[in-house]
Amino acid sequence: MASRLPGAVTTQPADERTPVLNDPVLNDTVRDAAVRQDTTKQEPAARVRRLSRAFGDRRVLDGLDLDIEPGEFTALVGRSGSGKSTLLRALAGLDREVAGELTVTGTVAVAFQEPRLVPWKRVLANVCLGLRTADPPAAARAALAEVGLTERADAWPLTLSGGEAQRASLARALARRPRLLLLDEPFSALDALTTITMHRLVIRLWAHHEPAVLLVTHDVDEALALADRVLVLAGGRIGYGCRIDAPRPRDRNQPELTDLRTRLLAELGVHPEGTK
């Protein structure tokens, strides 16, 4: 595995993997995705060692270590200013001031909190931006179909609803066939019903395409609903992590998830009333 000097992300060719067929029933889709080929001999989708980043006198990341396995859905939670988005930007190659070792295998794509669609280009052209394929429009139309935006391909971004804009952003990321998909709080500005719809869409697309996913979120319940593993970022490092084996879709009132929610909130400094 190659190490990197501060300010440069090392990438390696992605391993070829057999895609999972999309079943119309979400339970079956996720169950099929769980029956994956053995990944023990594959390189991690991302490997981070001793990663540090300071802004002036404030050290946001401080010797952080992290592996993200192929096909794994990881959620990263933490208080505001804890460095979650800083880590995501480093993985995306957008922060050249980090120090340490960071290796990413294959293509990386990002969906941000804001959709970041170019307002003077129609939706299809936005998804085509930067695509390195033989037929970018065909790849973009296929991605738009997957997120249910076929009929909005010729629309202007300003005419989209919030949910539609985020779906377009997700299509733009998926069109790149990423091995590592980075989601930077993409649902935080959506209403509750749209968020539920987006959660289901993301799980279905993840199960079908099998990228490794790193979701940055402030929402513990969102992390518990979506992820295989939840990590807490505190003090510039991963302070706590837990795996979630409950089948999807998940009921937030399951005893296992209730206990994990309490533990995660405690790690974030939020305790039940009357206990602290």
pLDDT at 15: 42
Summarised one tens digit per residue, pLDDT across range 19-74 is: 333 444 445 444 444 444 444 457 899 999 999 999 999 999 999 999 999 999 99
Look at the block and give the residue holding tokens 């709080």: 185
Measured N-to-C along each axis, helices 192-209 and 162-174 cross at an angle, to the nearest 10 degrees, of 10
Residue 273: pLDDT band by 50, 70, 90 thresholds? Answer: low
Residue 233 contacts residue 87 (beta carbons within 8 Å): yes
Would you kindly state where each structural domain of the chain is located, as residue ranges?
A: 1-13+21-38+70-107+178-270, 120-176
Interval 217-232: pLDDT, tens = 999 999 999 999 999 9
Report the distance separating Cα 36 and Cα 101, nearest Å: 28
CATH node for 1-13+21-38+70-107+178-270: 3.40.50.300
pLDDT at residue 238 greater than cutoff 60: yes
Tens-place pLDDT, residues 81-124: 899 999 999 999 999 899 999 999 899 999 998 999 999 999 99
pLDDT of 11 higher than 60: no
The pLDDT tens digits for 141-200 are: 999 999 999 999 999 999 999 999 999 999 999 999 999 999 999 998 899 999 999 999
Asked if the model's pLDDT at residue 2 lies above 80, the reply is no
3-state secondary structure 207-260: HHHCCEEEEEECCHHHHHHHCCEEEEEECCEEEEEEECCCCCCCCCCCHHHHHH
The confidence score (pLDDT) of residue 41 equals 56
User: With bands split at pLDDT 50, 70 and 90, how would you rate the model's confidence at 260?
Assistant: very high
Query: Which tokens hold the place of 173?
Result: 């990321």
- The token duo for 20 is 């999972």
Tell me how far apart the alpha carbons of residues 241 and 17 are, in angstroms, rounded to a whole number.
27
The tokens describing 257, both together, are 């998830």
